[in-house]
Amino acid sequence: MKFVRYGELGNERPGVLHLDGTLRDLGDLVGDIDPDTLASGRLMALDMAALDALPRVLGGARIGCPIAHIGKVIGIGLNYREHAKESGAPIPAEPIVFLKANSSINGPYDDVVLPKQSTKTDWEVELGVVMGRVAKNVSEEDALAHVFGYVIVNDVSEREHQLERGGQWTKGKSHDTFCPIGPWLVTRDEAGDEQALDLWCEVNGERLQHSNTADMIFSVAACVSYVSRFMTLYPGDVLTTGTPQGVGLGLKPPRYLASGNTMRLGVTGLGEQFQTIRG
């Protein structure tokens, strides 16, 4: 299934994408798509007969982040072999872990706003993992059983703040609007093999990133297991699993975002995002 939250910022309602392509309102069945709902199993218990009876949502509604009240967003850095090569970095021996502030969470079609005096803001299409069960010290073999589903994440990054301002990646990753998520939260069973998904990103209509999750250094299961050794993962937490080659930092010469630029990005089966950059 594909779950959605729609409506004005701060007043989104839960929805589900029907097989006929229409958006249906879930508000009479669940309060929201949030950690409690994900953990409860109510969403997975829905059947097609229940969806048929739901009211249709008229076109033109804003689509927001598909998960409300996300506890934390955890990032994995340099997790694609070709991206590590373009960055001139060695293949990591262990996953590189950082955090993105919750205040950076943004809708998939909302504008991305450049920080004041930004000179090196970059794009990063990523596969996001949404937790459905509490995970602490889970094995790699059991890790995926704790995952509810998957989302697209644009891990927007200000490279000067990330790499040239004291060595803390979080500073370059956490500006407001720097974490577009969605449009859909796709259940694990519908998404299919998480290590065989194409992902891509276009900037101003030019496709600059195009790869497959098969190029990951550490698999989704390995990332979930690894992070769970250092912090408890709760339902609704989002783990974003790295970006492939083709980011602005890796181009020759490097290229960064400016006001008026656009980003379009997608992952197989998870939909597409589109953002306009505002200065």
The whole-number pLDDT of residue 260 equals: 98
Identify which of 81, 78, 96 has the alpha carbon closest to the alpha carbon of residue 226. Answer: 96
Strands in 206-212's sheet, in edge-to-edge order, are 112-113, 271-278, 262-267, 198-203, 206-212
What domains can be seen in the chain, in order of their start residue?
Answer: 2-52 (no CATH), 73-278 (3.90.850.10)
110-131 average pLDDT score:
96
Confidence check: pLDDT of 43 > 90: yes
Average pLDDT over residues 26-37: 95
For 54-63, the pLDDT digits (tens) are 999 988 999 9
- Whether pLDDT at 259 is above 80: yes
Beta bridge partners of 266: 200, 272
Interval 85-108 mean pLDDT: 94
Q: How many helices (H) and strands (E) does the chain have?
A: 8, 18
By the 8 A CB rule, do 181 and 110 touch? Answer: no
CA distance 61 to 57: 8
Cα–Cα distance, 241 to 76 (Å, whole number): 5
Query: Which pLDDT tens digit goes with each residue over 199-224?
Result: 999 999 999 999 999 999 999 999 99
Confidence (pLDDT) at 88: 86
Looking at this protein, which amino acid is placed at residue 246? G
* Cα(129)–Cα(150) distance, integer angstroms: 5
pTM: 0.97
State pLDDT tens for residues 152-165.
999 999 999 998 88
